[in-house]
A and B are shown apart, each in its own frame.
Chain A
Amino acid sequence: MVCALGAHSGCGLFGPQSMGIEFDIALGAGALRQLAKAALRKALIKSPTSITSRGAALKPYGGPGGGHHIPAKSAFSGARGYDAKAALAIPPEELGKLGVTHSTVTGAQQTLYREFAKTGKQLTWEVVETIETESLVRGGLDPDTARATVKQAIDALKKAGVPGPTRVPWSD
């Protein structure tokens, strides 16, 4: 049994799973590899979100109108290695395509960061990841995509040498 791969068919790259879109066919290993490669190529072209990350299509913010910073840029005020223009953001058109309501994401961020500020604890990458993910979900993004999106953005900041958040957004 061979799974007909699609961007969201649920076919694992390391083992097809029965997801309802499948067919029985006798194929040799070479043909199977070719089929899988072609399907994967097609899926990658069709979907702006890569199969491996399944996150939103992030882009460097670039400048005014660059979209929604992930995570909130004010968490990194004065942080070594942080460049707001180079930091990843969800572009406005991607927010629209994913059906995310920007105002809801921002409102959830503000509320959650302010709640966290009441603990008096230091803001960490882990807390940022939790709050940013929950905010995207509140805005209408599905949880898996939200998790992958935030993880991708935080990983990029870490790779850029940002040691961590410097302040709790909306805390003062």
Chain B
Amino acid sequence: MTPEIEEFARTLVRFVRDAAVQSGDRALLPTARSPVAKRWAKAANEEAPTDLARVLIPDVVDETIFYLLQAIDQGSLRIAYAAANGKVVDLTAEGLGELSGWFMGSDGWRAKYSKERFTDDFSDLRGRHSSAP
């Protein structure tokens, strides 16, 4: 394995895998107040193990993809994408640091492209056309 691939592996594991695991652990803390934490606590109290797992699975997958995109947004992972039209784009530069937001947001990539379940924790923020004070 080349030093470059080794560096990629280390960055991927630390900034994506480990960050996602740590974030999930924090959501389990009794003091956690985010929508994900509340959803997990509610499911843990009210649902059967299989149904609890059905709640956790998409959240954990989404959290992991979020940290992958964060690593790209922040420039920790410099990745070029070769599009079908042959154009190669630098995701950090062309993405303006907004890829993880496009993925997580209410009308983002999950809503647009996913065929599997996800929880939209921001739907109540939509339809507010005047955030201006």
Binding site for B on A (CB under 8 A): 63-66, 69, 72-74, 77, 92, 96, 99-104, 106-112, 114-116, 118-119, 121, 124, 126-127, 130-131, 134, 138-140, 169-170
Report the separation of the CA atoms of residues A114 and B76 in the bound assembly, to the nearest whole angstrom.
26
Known A108-B122, A111-B107: A140·B33 in contact at CB below 8 Å:
yes
B66 touches A110 (CB 8 A): no
Report if A118-B129 is in contact (Cβ < 8 Å); known contacts: A74-B97, A101-B34, A111-B122. Answer: yes
| Interface of chain B: mostly helix, strand, loop or mixed | loop
Are A102 and B23 in contact, with the CB atoms below 8 A? Answer: yes
What does DSSP make chain A's interface, helix, strand, loop or mixed? Answer: helix
Chain B residues, Cβ within 8 Å of A116: 131-132
Determine if B131 and A130 form an interchain contact, defined as CB atoms under 8 angstroms apart. yes
Contact call A107/B122, Cβ cutoff below 8 A: yes
Query: CB within 8 Å of A: which residues of B?
Result: 15, 19, 22-23, 26-27, 29, 31-37, 62-63, 66-67, 70, 74-76, 96-98, 100-102, 104-108, 121-122, 125-133
A30 and B129 CA atoms in complex are apart in Å by 56
Q: Is B70 touching A114 in the complex (CB atoms < 8 A)? A: no
**How many angstroms between the C-alpha atoms of A130 and B22 in the bound complex?**
29
Chain B residues with Cβ under 8 A from A77's Cβ? 96
Residues of B within 8 A of A69 (CB): 97
A130: chain B residues at CB < 8 Å are 131-133
**Whose C-beta in chain B lies nearest to the C-beta of A66?**
B74
| Residue in B closest to A89 when the chains form the complex, CB atoms | B74
Q: Which residue of A lies closest to B74 (CB)?
A: A64
A74 — nearest CB in chain B belongs to which residue? B96
- Beyond A64-B76, A119-B130, whether A170 also contacts B29 by CB under 8 A is no
Sample of 13 more A-B contacts, CB < 8 Å, known A64-B74, A115-B128: A69-B97, A73-B97, A96-B22, A101-B23, A103-B100, A104-B35, A104-B104, A109-B101, A115-B127, A118-B129, A127-B131, A131-B131, A138-B35
Cα of A68 to Cα of B132 in the assembled complex, Å: 23
Offer 10 A-B interface pairs, CB within 8 angstroms, sorted by A. A65-B76, A96-B22, A96-B26, A101-B36, A103-B36, A103-B66, A104-B34, A107-B122, A130-B132, A170-B102
Q: Measured between alpha carbons, how far is A121 from B27 in the docked complex, in Å?
A: 36
Nearest Cβ on chain B to A28's Cβ, whole angstroms? 41
Given the complex of chains A and B, what is the CA–CA distance between A101 and B102 in angstroms?
Answer: 16
Q: Are A103 and B104 in contact (CB under 8 A)?
A: yes
Nearest-neighbor residue (CB-CB) of A118 within chain B: B129
| A8–B96 alpha-carbon span in the complex (Å) | 38
Most buried by B among A65, A96, A110, A126: A110
Report whether B37 and A110 are in contact in the complex, using a CB–CB cutoff of 8 Å: no
